[in-house]
C-alpha cells in the first residue's frame, strides 16, 4: 500500500520534502530507500561534497577542511550547489532534500529558491534517536567505512553543531506546521514505513 500511495505524490503537488536528523540516525540509508521506493529525487549535500572530495575538485578540497573538523561548509557554497541542482530539475519531480538545509540561512535561501520555481516544502521529516545509540552507530560505521569525518572529537563537534545550527531549522519549519518527528529506533523496514506515513 505504501508504494501505491507514494507513487501518486509526484502528481499531487503536495510539495518537496526535507529529511533531517542528527548525525548517525540513518538518514542516508533511509533516504535511499525512500527515494527508490517512491520515485523521489534525492539531494544529499553531504554526498555531493563527498563526491567532489573523491574527485579532488576545488570545491571538494575547500569543503574537506570543514568536513574534517565536523563543521558545516559555508552557507554560500552550499546554497550555490543546491541552486545549480534545482536549475536542472523538471517541475514534475518531488525532491527529498537530505541533510539540507542545516542552518536557518540555508532554510531561508531554500524557501526563496523554491518560490522562484513555483515549488514549496510540503513536509519536513525529522528522524531521531537517543544520542548514545547514535554515537554507537557512528563508531560502527566509521570502522566499517573508514569515513575520515567520524573520529570521536569530530563526532562530538558534529552533535554540537547540529544542536546550535540545525535545531533552529526544525523550529523554523515547526512554526509552519510542516514537521513530523519519526522514531529512528527499530528495524530498517519499520522505520521506512514510518517515514512514508510521516511524508503524507
Ligand atoms: P552528511 O553526510 O549529510 O552528514 O554530511 C557530511 C558533512 O558534509 C557535514 O558534516 C558537513 O561538513 C557537510 N555538509 C553536508 N550538508 C551540509 C549543509 N547543508 N551545510 C553545510 N555543510 C554540509
For the stretch 13-67, pLDDT in tens is 579 999 999 999 999 899 999 999 999 999 999 999 999 999 999 999 999 999 9
Q: What is the pLDDT of residues 78-99, one digit of tens each?
A: 999 999 999 999 888 999 999 9
- 125-148: average pLDDT: 87
> How many other CB atoms sit within 10 Å of the CB of residue 145?
9
Residue 45 near ligand 1, beta carbon < 6 Å: yes
Is the CB of residue 72 below 6 angstroms from any atom belonging to ligand 1?
Answer: yes
Of all protein residues, the one whose alpha carbon is nearest to atom 15 of ligand 1 is 46
Residue found by looking up cell 521506493 in the block: 37
All domains of the chain in start order, with CATH: 16-195 (3.40.50.300)
Catalytic annotation, pick one of 141, 157, 180, 181? 141
Task: Give 113-164 as a 3 state SS string.
Answer: HHHHCCCCEEEEEEEECCHHHHHHHHHHHHHHHCCCCCCHHHHHHHHHHHHH
pTM score, whole prediction: 0.87
Q: Choosing from 37, 147, 180, 181, which is the catalytic residue?
A: 147
Distance 157 CA to ligand 1 centre (A): 13
Give the strand pairing for 95-98 and 41-44.
parallel
Residue in 94, 119, 123, 158 annotated catalytic:
158
Amino acid at each position: 500500500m505504501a508504494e501505491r500511495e507514494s507513487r501518486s505524490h509526484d502528481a499531487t503537488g503536495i510539495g518537496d520534502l526535507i529529511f533531517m536528523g542528527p548525525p548517525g540516525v540513518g538518514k542516508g540509508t533511509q533516504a535511499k530507500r525512500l527515494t527508490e521506493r517512491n520515485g523521489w529525487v534525492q539531494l544529499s549535500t553531504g554526498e555531493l561534497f563527498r563526491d567532489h572530495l573523491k574527485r579532488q575538485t576545488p570545491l571538494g578540497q575547500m569543503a574537506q577542511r570543514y568536513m574534517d573538523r565536523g563543521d558545516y561548509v559555508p552557507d554560500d557554497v552550499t546554497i550555490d550547489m543546491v541552486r545549480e541542482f534545482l536549475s536542472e530539475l523538471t517541475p514534475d519531480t518531488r525532491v527529498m532534500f537530505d541533510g539540507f538545509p542545516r542552518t536557518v540561512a540555508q532554510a531561508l535561501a531554500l524557501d526563496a529558491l523554491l518560490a522562484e520555481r513555483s515549488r514549496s516544502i510540503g513536509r519536513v521529516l525529522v528522524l531521531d534517536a537517543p544520542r548514545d545509540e547514535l554515537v554507537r552507530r557512528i563508531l560502527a560505521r566509521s570502522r566499517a567505512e573508514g569515513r575520515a569525518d567520524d573520529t570521536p572529537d569530530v563526532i562530538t563537534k558534529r552533535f554540537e553543531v547540529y544542536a546550535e545550527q540545525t535545531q533552529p531549522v526544525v523550529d523554523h519549519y515547526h512554526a509552519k506546521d510542516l514537521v513530523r518527528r519519526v522514531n529512528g529506533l527499530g528495524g530498517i523496514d519499520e522505520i521506512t514505513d514510518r517515514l512514508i506515513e510521516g511524508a503524507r
